[in-house]
Structure 1
Amino acid sequence: MAIELKMPALSPTMEKGTLAKWLVAVGDEVKSGDIIAEIETDKATMEFEAIDEGRIASLAVAEGTDDVPVGTIIATMAEEGEKVAAGPVPEASKVMAEAEALVEELTPLPPATSEPVNVPVADPVPSPSNVAQADSQTANATPLARRIAGFKGLSLSSLQGSGPRGKIVKADLGLPSLLSPSPNIAPQMNVSQTMPIYDPPKGVPVENVKLTTMRKTIARRLSESKQTVPHFYLTVRCNLGPLLKLRSELNANLAPRGIKLSVNDFMIKALAKSLIEVPDANVQFGGDVLHRFSRADISMAVAIEGGLITPVIRDAGLLSLSAIAEQSKALAAKARDGKLDSGDYEGGTASISNLGMFGIDEMFPVINPPQALILGIGAGIEQPWKVEGEIALATIMSATASFDHRAIDGAIAAEFMAAFKTLIESPLLIVG
């Protein structure tokens, strides 16, 4: 019996994915645990492992196909002894017909209309709707297409079916797809619907690069964040001198263990401890409620090819600096290799984005929904500063936080920034 391989849900929020690449061909033998495809989600490109053994009988979705719904059959695998016949990859219409079949049982029947008033007529003539209903019973169409045609009064006799074996599917009726949001559900924000899209200037050499699923998601989520979340910003400037000195001393002691602390590790720990010290900043807007968290899970921004991802360091306030260093290094490596699991990047109570290593003086980051706070770190710059009562050169770093004003007020935000500045300038408090 053939084994159906379906588009997997590689994260709790995944609804669609892009089949980026097939790593097998029709006729290939597959064992449990073999990597058979690369699936591009809104977070990363992830590997799809086989859980059964057999031989690839067909590939139902071509590589590079965008927005394949979770649960759609993407390939079939024959068990031992079954005949494998190579064949072409079906057209997109067949893929969508299979997707429609998945949701057909979940599609409610159209609301019943009120009972019409019976008015006697001399010569009854079949109404178009009755003709359509009779026609829909005999047409080569899916049950869903028949129901819709009967309700809408459409005749199926003149339609050319695009589904399997020439069946008429819902897409052939010229109506919105079943996969479109229901009218009573607010659709996800589409960048093209919220801002004008302009053509490139004429006469200028240009290359059109297709957006990845990750880049589309980044564009949508950050546009949504700036348009729906009331941002406000606070900046503090901190003397990094004591922290850099302590870091150098600690790294000398940790070197035999193969551990090296980065400045960003101190920032993550200081952010987490500040959130614990000022719990009213460790919150999330929830409509009629305010979610206040009892631990600090820090999402750290990692630049990868094609976009940005934010793996999470859990309960960072209680971790040692060496533990944060090990976790941040491991998570960053997994992110760049596309090996993150959904548990590595789901959640987080606040985010940090550090561009100091690129020489950026100051940054104003965009909030990562649904969080209410993100901290942006700039470079340490040597400049005149008051040090022990005298003007001297010191390494000064700017830290700017973006706050969701629906959840955090200015006074709370100022208290949080003061706590962060104190920790940075007295780094022994970070270690303690």
Structure 2
Amino acid sequence: MARVLHMPEVAAGALEAVLQTWGVAAGVPYAKGEVIATVETDKAVVEVEAEEPGVLLRTLVGEGAAVTVGAPIAVVGAPGEPPEAAEPVLAGLPASGGADRPAGVAGAVPAGPPPAGDPPHDASAPRSQPEPPAQARPLPEAPPPPRAPGSGGGSRTPPRVFSSPLARRLAGEAGLRVEDIPGSGPNGRVVRKDVEAAVAARAVRTTEERAYTEIPHTRMRRAIAARLAESKRTAPHFYLRGTARVDALLALRAQLNRGDLRISVNDLVVKAAACAHARVPAMNVTWSEEAVRAYRQVDLAVAVATEAGLVTPVLRDVAGMTVSRVAAVMREYGERARAGRLRQDELEGGTLTVTNLGMYGTEEFAAIVNPPQAAILAVGAARRQPVVDGDAVVAASVLTVTLSADHRPVDGVVAAEWMKVFLELLENPVTILA
């Protein structure tokens, strides 16, 4: 039986989403689990899968339309139902500005074929309006007042602009009209300095126009800006900086990467952070206005740079993962993040985010906490430098990290204890594998 397919609430608290693409065309049957549509939220692109087999009878919104959550987006039916089965369902939908436009859809037009008997619809053509009743029709305009004698009946000629011969010549050479230049001479006469000022003003405008290009904000960029600005306003940040000798960590990575296995330094850092959370459970928390939530499982987010902006997919139960599993999941998340194919549930949760700019040569930096998480770990580049080893100065590989923490759920002593454990794990990396 034909029914309406509504825009799902793909993100908690979302009021609107963009229907990015249709996965199937109108009149084409689909199987259970097949992607019917792809929806864009503030954070990611979410695939809407079919809960049961069926056929897409009619699409109600076009690709790229912003749609209110819960609004109709299509009419679907059971396998084998003809397109005509959509007509009774369409007749029951409330109209909102057009015969086929469902309520709650912002600026959308039907993407499917029009109902039988309807003339083709041109979205660019103005809609005809019904003729108003006689009493509502506007009265004819009153005739213009008669002209005064001697005023003339033709079109008015523009007033004459006086200018010096030199000003006219300079304006012509610059491609300007003296009629467009304010005059500062006697009786508004345009003189040389007026033309020179107009030429200079045009040069300034041209330079300003070419100095930058405006790039419209994407939904993701607006969401990132709002979220981080809120974090800095509401979360009292404090920062801890630590350094670790990572020669043993790099040697362990080289040993693990024999054969087909590929593990990055960041994979080992993420695993070490999860182990530190397991040993200092007071860090495995998030903040809410009602309570501090302490978690039994260690879920960590990892920052991934994409063309659209930064996303932070969440790895579940990292403390219980092997390093090879961490590497595999992070590699998969990175590929899907850059392709815009992360699910909304993969972007929610976690108590700590790991962000690494060391691959770009950055030695150290501080990051902003991603609420409601309690902290974010900024990882710099491992670099060779002299260090004191007993009474000797030796060369060693040193890694600098900065922990930004929200002081509401985490005290300074707790963060310091966590940092101590974390640095010890980096310097004794075999314990990460235990």
> Which TM-score applies when normalising by structure 1?
0.68
> Which of the numbers 225, 238, 248 marks the counterpart of 1:219?
225
1:342 is matched by which residue type in structure 2? Q
Tell me the distance in 1 between the aligned counterparts of 2:14 and 2:65: 16
CA gap of 1:396–1:249, structure 2 versus 1, over 3 A, is same
Equivalences, count: 326
2:182 aligned residue: none
Deviation at 1:282? 1.9
Q: Structure 1: any 5+ residue segments left out of the alignment? A: 101-164, 167-200
Whole-Å separation in 1 of the counterparts to 2:211 and 2:53: 49
Q: Is the 8 A contact 2:44 2:344 kept in 1?
A: no
Q: Deviations over 1:109-135 (max 9, x none)?
A: xxxxxxxxxxxxxxxxxxxxxxxxxxx
- Aligned in 2, Cα 1:205/1:62: closer, same or farther, shift over 3 Å? farther
TM-aligned CA deviation for residue 12 of structure 1: 4.1
1:347-358 correspondence to structure 2 within 5 Å = 347-358=349-360
Alpha carbons of 1:206 and 1:52: their partners in 2 closer, same or farther (altered >3 Å)? farther
Q: 1:230 aligns with which of 227, 233, 236?
A: 236
Aligned-partner residue type, residue 53 of structure 1: G
Residue 13 of structure 1: how far off its partner (Å): 4.6
Instruction: Kindly indicate whether residue 88 of structure 2 is the aligned counterpart of residue 83 of structure 1.
Output: no
Deviations 1:57-79 (A, max 9, x none): 3x32232223x222111122466
Q: For residues 82 and 62 of structure 1, what CA distance do their matches in structure 2 show?
A: 18
Return closer, same or farther for 1:77/1:287 CA change in 2, 3 Å cut-off: closer
1:170 corresponding residue in structure 2: none
Q: What's the secondary structure of 1:76's corresponding residue?
A: strand
Alignment CA distance shift 1:356-1:96 (3 Å)? farther
Alpha-carbon spacing, 1:85–1:346, altered in 2? closer, same or farther (3 Å)? closer
Secondary structure of 1:20's aligned partner: strand
Shift of 1:365: 0.9
**How much has 1:213 moved relative to structure 2?**
2.2
Secondary structure at the aligned position of 1:80 is classed as coil
In structure 2, C-alpha distance between the alignment counterparts of 1:91 and 1:82, rounded to whole Å: 20
> Percent identity of the aligned residues?
37
Q: 1:99 aligns with which of 97, 104, 115?
A: 104
The aligned runs of 1:201-220 (5 Å cut-off) are 202-220=208-226
Partner of 2:41: 41
Q: Which residue of 2 aligns with 1:276?
A: 278
Does the residue aligned with 1:4 lie in a helix, a strand or coil? strand
**CA 1:431–1:220 in 2, change beyond 3 Å: closer, same or farther?**
same
User: Given the superposition, is the C-alpha separation of residues 209 and 4 from structure 1 closer, same or farther in structure 2, using an over 3 Å criterion?
Assistant: farther
Q: CA deviation at 1:92?
A: 7.5
Provide the rounded CA distance (Å) in 2 between the counterparts of 1:216 and 1:396: 37
TM-aligned CA distance change 1:15 to 1:232, over 3 Å: same
Conserved in 1, the CA contact under 8 Å of 2:95 and 2:102? no
Conservation of the 8 A alpha-carbon contact between 1:234 and 1:402: yes
Deviations 1:148-202 (A, max 9, x none): xxxxxxxxxxxxxxxxx99xxxxxxxxxxxxxxxxxxxxxxxxxxxxxxxxxx94
Hey, what does 1:31 align to over in structure 2?
A: 30
* 3-state secondary structure, aligned to 1:379: coil
Q: Which has the larger radius of gyration?
A: 2
1:124-203 matches, within 5 Å, as 202-203=208-209
Q: How far off its partner does 1:230 sit?
A: 0.7
Residue pair 2:2, 2:85 contacting (<8 A) in 1 also = no
Contact kept, 8 Å, 2:95 with 2:101, in 1: the verdict is no
- Superposed, which structure 2 residues align to 1:65-76 within 5 Å? 65-66=65-66, 68-76=67-75
Tell me the equivalent position of 1:410.
412
For residue 214 of structure 1, give the secondary structure of its aligned residue in structure 2.
helix
**Contact 1:384–1:391 (8 Å) recurs in 2:** yes
Relative to 1, partners in 2 of residues 1:84 and 1:335: Cα closer, same or farther, differing over 3 Å? Answer: same
User: Residue type of the partner of 2:82?
Assistant: G
Indicate if the aligned counterparts of 2:72 and 2:102 stay in contact, CA closer than 8 A. Answer: no
C-alpha distance in 2, partners of 1:38/1:271?
Answer: 34
The 3-state SS of whatever aligns with 1:203 is: helix
SS, match of residue 98 in structure 1: coil
Structure 1 match to 2:122:
none
Please give the residue correspondences for 1:43-62 in structure 2 after superposition, counting only pairs within 5 Å.
43-50=43-50, 51-57=52-58, 59-62=59-62
Q: What amino acid maps onto 2:54 in structure 1?
A: E
1:268 counterpart SS class: helix
The partner residue of 1:428 within 422, 427, 430 is 430
- Report how far residue 334 of structure 1 moved: 2.5
Q: Separation in 1 of the partners of 2:213 and 2:408? A: 41
SS at 1:363's partner residue? coil
Pick aligned residue for 1:296 from 295, 298, 321:
298
User: In the alignment, what sits opposite 2:366?
Assistant: 364
Over residues 399-418 of structure 1, what are the superposed CA-to-partner deviations in whole Å (9 max), with x where a residue is unaligned? 00100011112222111111
Structure 1 equivalent of residue 332 of structure 2: 330
Post-superposition offset of 1:41? 1.0
CA spacing shift, 1:371–1:275, aligned 2, 3 Å: same
Matched-pair contact (CA < 8 Å) for 1:259–1:326 = no
Secondary structure (helix, strand or coil) at the match of 2:84 reads coil
Q: Which residue of 2 aligns with 1:313?
A: 315
Cα deviations across residues 13-60 of structure 1 (Å, max 9, x unaligned)?
Answer: 5442112234555x5423235544321112212233445533543x32
Structure 2 distance, partners of 1:43, 1:339, is 11
**In the superposition, relative to structure 1, how do residues 92 and 336 fare at CA in structure 2: closer, same or farther (>3 Å)?**
farther
- Counterpart residue number, 1:63: 63
Q: Is contact 1:18–1:213 with CA below 8 Å preserved after alignment?
A: no
Per-residue displacement from partner, 1:227-268 (whole Å, max 9, x unpaired)? 11111111101111111011112222xx2xx32211111111
Q: How big is the shift at 1:425?
A: 1.1
Q: Normalising to structure 2: TM-score of the pair?
A: 0.68
Superposition CA RMSD, Å: 3.0
Q: Distance in 2 between the 1:289 and 1:4 partners?
A: 40
Matched with 1:400 is 402
